Chain A
Amino acid sequence: QQQVKQSPQSLIVQKGGISIINCAYENTAFDYFPWYQQFPGKGPALLIAIRPDVSEKKEGRFTISFNKSAKQFSLHIMDSQPGDSATYFCAASTNQGGKLIFGQGTELSVKP
């Protein structure tokens, strides 16, 4: 019940296209949902995060869509660029304890 399932494992998108990465969870106590971006040889860095009181959050070309009833959330990257090529991780936590549960990761490649 503590798992976060992420798909797809890898994604290839043409420059200018939309990249979509999906995550699903079971624990209804999760109330914080961040997305992290990791470039090769680097540590992950926070990209964008959402709490379940809103259904969508947008920052530049990056948007999180959140569906509380379906227990799913997704990352949309509009106008994808080669510089967006990285591994993306979704994650979730509750407001109890100190655990952050990550998804399995999606390796995104944006072709010029």
Chain B
Amino acid sequence: EAQVTQNPRYLITVTGKKLTVTCSQNMNHEYMSWYRQDPGLGLRQIYYSMNVEVTDKGDVPEGYKVSRKEKRNFPLILESPSPNQTSLYFCASSLRAQGHQETQYFGPGTRLLVL
């Protein structure tokens, strides 16, 4: 089944404890992206990648890192999480490099609580 998977789905952590949220797609998509969703703010893009080893900042990249070493994986790294990073996170992918201009397929989301 073609899909975008995220792990974990739920995570409770404490301030400063490094964590990684994994994202994987099995559709051979070139474009991948991370978003956070907060009430009243909609979805905000954190980072995106148009191909392997090509990543760029979205609108809210502070406090996050990403890497794209393989086409299928795009992990989101929080080196030192803070409570303001408590949010619902979505990974998405799209077939071509210009994924921001075509259908994006979203994962199921990861709900993160930073205490």
Residues of A near any B CB (own CB < 8 A): 2, 6, 9, 31-32, 34, 41-46, 49, 89, 91, 93, 95, 97-105
Shortest Cβ distance from residue A71 to the other chain B in the assembled complex, whole angstroms:
18
B74 within 8 A of A: no
Shortest Cβ distance from residue B71 to the other chain A in the assembled complex, whole angstroms:
16
Residues of B within 8 A of A89 (CB): 42-43
Beta-carbon contact of B59 and A101 below 8 Å: yes
Given contacts A43-B107, A43-B108, A43-B109, contact A98 B90 (CB under 8 A): no
Provide 24 A-B residue pairs closer than 8 Å at the C-beta atoms, listed in order of the A residue: A2-B59, A34-B103, A41-B108, A42-B109, A43-B4, A44-B43, A44-B90, A44-B106, A45-B105, A45-B106, A46-B103, A46-B104, A89-B42, A89-B43, A93-B101, A95-B98, A95-B101, A98-B50, A99-B45, A99-B100, A100-B100, A101-B45, A102-B43, A104-B42
Say whether chain A's binding surface is mostly helix, strand, loop, or mixed: loop
Beta-carbon contact of B106 and A43 below 8 Å: yes
- Residues from 69 to 115 in B contacting A, C-beta threshold 8 Å: 90, 92, 97-101, 103-109
Residues of B within 8 A of A34 (CB): 103
